[in-house]
């Protein structure tokens, strides 16, 4: 059953929420009085479609619908999650919550994107305070997983658990803060860095570009994968955090930061910073900067994904969740023996493309190799079996590139067993986008003992599963291109 979310306020953050929900299969209802809201959210969706699906190695659910409604009551009717992203004024938020609660399902979660207000302030005067909690995301909402979920005693445990489960299903990380404070946690760090940066610019110590370079070429990369305290624990060497604290603790007494001492926020300071920022990146449009940002984030997070670390570990967990509820969690007996086996359903990520703007050669091999790995899992050659000492080694591969594949394309791979007997496994993969045949991959593998590194017979269970498919697929038409050598006529 398709789930429904309502987004109240369709600006940068609201639009990001709409994209995160819709691309994870939710239907989204939007209320925003801005006549340009549909266009703006459409542009956000275009960026999100280009980047978010490529974080995973399995396709996201079918995209939900986004509809626009002239009244809050229409938008929230039947929604299980309502996300408020209106301007940061408490009176506007209170009026919005009153309209929402007059029409919404009593069981719905009402999350606020507020970056500064405490949930107790948001709940003041509400008809049902327990529905409202802070769900503060980070831009771009459709890529960055963190959500600061801040509650009060008015929010019962069941509603908090429901909120956590819903956010986790979107591939997000709900950081539950049980004690409220102005600006929550993350923005307090950002504000401290921002204040120090204002002084550094005002005093002529560094330009906006130099400050940005100090972050992105240095500690910003460390923070992205380890955060603050784990980074400093490593900095303490073998003696760990206690040594680090003893070594750098005295620095707390030194005038290294201005902290809460803020420079006068006048026109001169605004013009100075705006001018330097224009010189730094004014040659790029906001949409161009967003696409560069998204591409960089996808590439970094996919790198972390390969290491199963930080945000990458979260992506792996989300991917396992999607696989478990799809055909990609099935085993051999779940597939008919007389039809090609679906072994991949994924989106081509941004970092799979080359200077020609289409998928580079090595990624075709990766896609087909992943399909082979999936087929191995289906017949029982999974991680546990490999750990016990048996596996398949690829002896020969032939790939035909038949059509272009671009970033964002959803590809499916179906696998036909040409031969499967004893230690031999001969597979033929077809990669498609809808009805369009993109490429084929032919692979010959041998079962080996990982102890002797020599070919040997597989387990009886694997051989039986492989033989079942080989016999069933023998009645299928011979794939076009099977056994074809490079340069040979079709």
Question: Are 269 and 346 found together in one domain?
Answer: no
Question: Are 202 and 158 found together in one domain?
Answer: no
CATH number, position 224: 1.10.1040.10
Instruction: Please indicate if the annotation marks 14 as binding a ligand.
Output: yes
Residue 171, pLDDT score: 96
Question: Are 241 and 119 found together in one domain?
Answer: no
Question: Are 146 and 214 found together in one domain?
Answer: no
Establish if 263 belongs to a structural domain: yes
Question: Are 43 and 148 found together in one domain?
Answer: yes
Residue 484, pLDDT score: 86
Which residues, 6+ apart, have CB-to-CB distance to 240 below 8 Å? 233
> Secondary structure of the chain: what % helix, strand, coil (to 5)?
45, 20, 35
Task: Please work out, in degrees rounded to the nearest 5, the angle formed at the alpha carbon of residue 465 by the alpha carbons of 463 and 470.
Answer: 90
Other C-beta atoms closer than 10 Å to the C-beta of 313 total: 14
C-alpha–C-alpha distance, residues 168 and 135, integer Å = 13
Question: Are 360 and 446 found together in one domain?
Answer: yes
Contact 297, 54 (CB under 8 A): no
Backbone angles phi, psi at 330, to 5 degrees: -80, 165
Contact 428, 479 (CB under 8 A): yes
Residue in this structure with the two tokens 């079709």, named with its chain if needed: 490
For helices 267-281 and 186-202, angle between their N-to-C axes, nearest 10 degrees: 100
Establish if 296 belongs to a structural domain: no
Residue 230, pLDDT score: 85
Among 250, 283, 316, the domain-final residue is 283
Question: Are 23 and 164 found together in one domain?
Answer: yes
Establish if 299 belongs to a structural domain: no
Instruction: Please indicate if the annotation marks 13 as binding a ligand.
Output: yes
Residue 252, pLDDT score: 66
Establish if 262 belongs to a structural domain: yes
Instruction: Please indicate if the annotation marks 25 as binding a ligand.
Output: no
Establish if 207 belongs to a structural domain: yes
CATH number, position 19: 3.40.50.720
Q: How many helices (H) and strands (E) does the chain have?
A: 17, 14
Instruction: Please indicate if the annotation marks 12 as binding a ligand.
Output: yes
Length of the chain (residues): 490
DSSP, collapsed to helix, strand or coil, labels residue 415 as strand
Contact 50, 23 (CB under 8 A): no
Establish if 437 belongs to a structural domain: yes
Task: Please work out, in degrees rounded to the nearest 5, the angle formed at the alpha carbon of residue 344 by the alpha carbons of 338 and 345.
Answer: 115
Among 177, 209, 233, the domain-final residue is 177
Residue 328, pLDDT score: 57
Question: Are 349 and 267 found together in one domain?
Answer: no
Contact 391, 448 (CB under 8 A): yes
Establish if 323 belongs to a structural domain: no
DSSP, collapsed to helix, strand or coil, labels residue 211 as helix
Question: Are 153 and 211 found together in one domain?
Answer: no
| Measured CA distances, 185 to 147, 148, 157, 192 (Å) | 11, 8, 21, 11
Tens digit of each residue's pLDDT, the chain (490 residues): 899 999 999 999 999 999 999 999 999 999 999 999 999 999 999 999 999 999 998 899 999 999 999 999 999 999 999 999 999 999 999 999 999 999 999 999 999 999 999 999 999 999 999 999 999 999 999 999 999 999 999 999 999 999 999 999 999 999 999 999 999 999 998 999 999 999 999 999 999 999 999 998 888 888 888 888 888 888 888 877 777 777 777 776 777 777 767 778 788 988 887 888 888 888 988 888 898 889 889 889 999 998 998 899 999 999 888 888 765 567 778 899 999 999 999 999 988 999 998 999 999 999 999 999 999 999 999 999 999 999 999 999 999 999 999 999 999 999 999 999 999 999 999 999 999 999 999 999 999 999 999 999 999 999 999 999 999 999 999 999 999 888 766 6
Question: Are 435 and 469 found together in one domain?
Answer: yes
**Burial class (CB within 10 angstroms; exposed 0-12, middle 13-18, buried 19+) of 456:** middle
CATH number, position 387: 3.10.129.10
Among 152, 177, 202, the domain-final residue is 177
Instruction: Please indicate if the annotation marks 448 as binding a ligand.
Output: no
C-alpha–C-alpha distance, residues 337 and 324, integer Å = 22
C-alpha–C-alpha distance, residues 58 and 323, integer Å = 7
Question: Are 241 and 153 found together in one domain?
Answer: no
Of 286, 315, 320, nearest in space to 300 by CA? 315
Establish if 249 belongs to a structural domain: yes
Domain of 130 in residue numbering reads as 4-177
Instruction: Please indicate if the annotation marks 11 as binding a ligand.
Output: yes
Which residues, 6+ apart, have CB-to-CB distance to 89 below 8 Å? none
Number of domains making up the chain: 3
C-alpha–C-alpha distance, residues 418 and 427, integer Å = 6
Query: How do strand 410-421 and strand 436-449 relate by DSSP bridges?
Result: unpaired
């Amino acid at each position: 059953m398709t789930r429904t979310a309502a987004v109240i306020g369709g600006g940068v953050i609201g639009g990001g929420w709409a994209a995160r929900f819709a691309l994870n299969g939710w239907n989204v209802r939007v209320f925003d009085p801005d006549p340009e809201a549909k266009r703006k959210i459409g542009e956000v969706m275009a960026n999100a479609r280009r980047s978010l699906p490529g974080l995973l190695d399995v396709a996201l659910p079918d995209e939900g619908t986004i509809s626009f409604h002239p009244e809050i009551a229409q938008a929230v009717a039947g929604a299980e999650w309502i996300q408020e992203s209106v301007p940061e004024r408490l009176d506007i938020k209170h009026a919005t919550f009153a309209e929402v609660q007059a029409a919404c399902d009593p069981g719905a979660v009402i999350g606020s994107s507020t970056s500064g207000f405490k949930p107790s302030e948001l709940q003041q005067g509400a008809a049902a305070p327990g529905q409202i909690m802070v769900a503060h995301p980070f831009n771009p909402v459709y890529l960055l997983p963190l959500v600061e979920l801040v509650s009060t005693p008015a929010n019962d445990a069941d509603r908090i658990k429901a909120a956590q489960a819903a956010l986790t299903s979107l591939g997000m990380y709900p950081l539950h803060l049980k004690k409220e404070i102005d600006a929550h946690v993350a923005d307090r760090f950002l504000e401290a860095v921002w204040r120090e940066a204002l002084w550094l610019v005002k005093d002529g110590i560094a330009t906006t570009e130099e400050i940005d370079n100090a972050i992105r070429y240095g500690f910003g990369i460390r923070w992205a994968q380890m955060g603050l305290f784990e980074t400093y624990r490593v900095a303490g060497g073998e003696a760990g955090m206690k040594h680090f604290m003893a070594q750098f603790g005295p620095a707390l007494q030194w005038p290294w930061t201005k902290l809460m001492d803020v420079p006068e926020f006048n026109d001169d300071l605004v013009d100075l910073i705006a001018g330097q920022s224009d010189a730094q990146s004014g040659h790029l449009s906001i949409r161009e900067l967003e696409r560069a940002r998204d591409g960089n984030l996808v590439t970094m997070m996919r790198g972390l994904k390969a290491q199963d670390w930080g945000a990458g570990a979260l992506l792996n967990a989300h991917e396992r969740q999607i696989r478990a509820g799809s055909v990609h969690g099935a085993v051999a007996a779940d597939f008919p023996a007389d039809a090609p086996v679906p072994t991949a359903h994924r989106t081509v990520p941004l970092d799979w493309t080359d200077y020609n703007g289409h998928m580079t050669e090595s990624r075709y091999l990766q896609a087909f190799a992943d399909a082979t790995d999936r087929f191995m899992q289906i017949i029982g050659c999974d991680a546990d079996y490999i750990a016990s000492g048996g596996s398949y080694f690829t002896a020969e591969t032939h790939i035909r590139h038949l059509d272009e594949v671009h970033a964002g394309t959803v590809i499916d791979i179906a696998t036909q067993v040409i031969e499967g007997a004893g230690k031999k496994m001969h597979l033929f993969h077809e990669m498609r986008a809808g009805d369009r045949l993109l490429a084929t991959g032919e692979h010959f593998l041998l079962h080996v003992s990982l102890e002797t590194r020599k070919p040997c017979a597989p387990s009886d269970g694997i051989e039986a599963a492989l033989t079942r498919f080989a016999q069933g697929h023998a009645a299928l038409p011979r794939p076009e291109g099977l056994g074809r050598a490079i340069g040979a006529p079709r």
